[in-house]
Amino acid sequence: MATKLSVNLNKVATLRNTRSVGIPSVTHCARLCLSAGADGITIHPRPDERHIRPRDVRDLAHVVAEYPGVELNIEGNPVHGLLEYVESYRPSQCTLVPDDEGQATSDHGWDLVKDGARLEPILKRLRKLGVRSSLFMDADASSMPRAKEIGADRVELYTEPYAAAFARGDAGTALAACRDAAQASRDAGLGVNAGHDLNLENLGRFLDQVPNVVEVSIGHALIAEALEHGLADTVTRYLAIARRA
């Protein structure tokens, strides 16, 4: 099973929002990514509209619909109006993330001891809508059975600790935690996604050591690397790593 690549376009929208001229276009960039072979598009609409805006959600849902078999993943905190987007556009996947409204980026997974009971009816609602659910989780193997118990379909492993350890040249412990968490997830009947600070340098080792990852969602690094390689070529490079894993 090849790992799928979902391209997060938040940073494209961030750049566009610095001016009022409409460039770069998130829909044009989405088409470039999908035409290059990306398996999906990820967006994270936040209440302050710092990057993805309500109109972008609508427009990107229409773009994704032009490409058979491609998925739209809408992620965010369910208390920030996320479910209204899900009900309106019915993405393939909704990733629930425990970020605060003013948080710069996601930096931790759900604490299911504290939040599991609150998430359970939300996960049930997603299932009724026919939308696959994923919970953004730290690489803690002991938490994964609870994720299944409350009704999640998948988990997305938070990979920033691995990326930071890789950059230091000391990724072994972080990789082991991700591998154990992924195995615990599969044992519980959950699909495994991964994302956050994965890049062209560290993705291959991650996928080699954490097998059977269904999907990686990559945005910040991919958009930065596209400044050097071009967007379509960067997507192609990621796909080569994902398909080889």
The string over 192-205, giving b where at least 16 C-beta atoms fall within 10 Å of a residue's C-beta and e elsewhere, is bbbbbbbbbebbee
Q: Which residues pair with 154 in a beta bridge?
A: 134, 191
Which of the residues 51, 71, 75, 215 is marked catalytic? 75
At 6, give phi and psi (nearest 5°): -110, 125
Distance between CA atoms of residues 69 and 72, nearest Å: 10
- 75 catalytic residue (yes or no): yes
Name the region of 49 (left: φ>0; alpha: ψ -120 to 50; beta: rest). Answer: left
**In the 8-state DSSP scheme, what is residue 135?**
E
Which of the residues 51, 80, 156, 196 is marked catalytic? 196
Does the CA dihedral 212-217-223-226 come out positive or negative?
Answer: positive
Contact 134, 153 (CB under 8 A): yes
Distance between CA atoms of residues 224 and 158, nearest Å: 20
What is the largest distance, in Å, between two alpha-carbon atoms of the chain? 50
- In a 13 Å sphere around the CA of 36, the CA atoms on its Cβ side amount to 23
Q: Which positions are catalytic?
A: 44, 75, 196
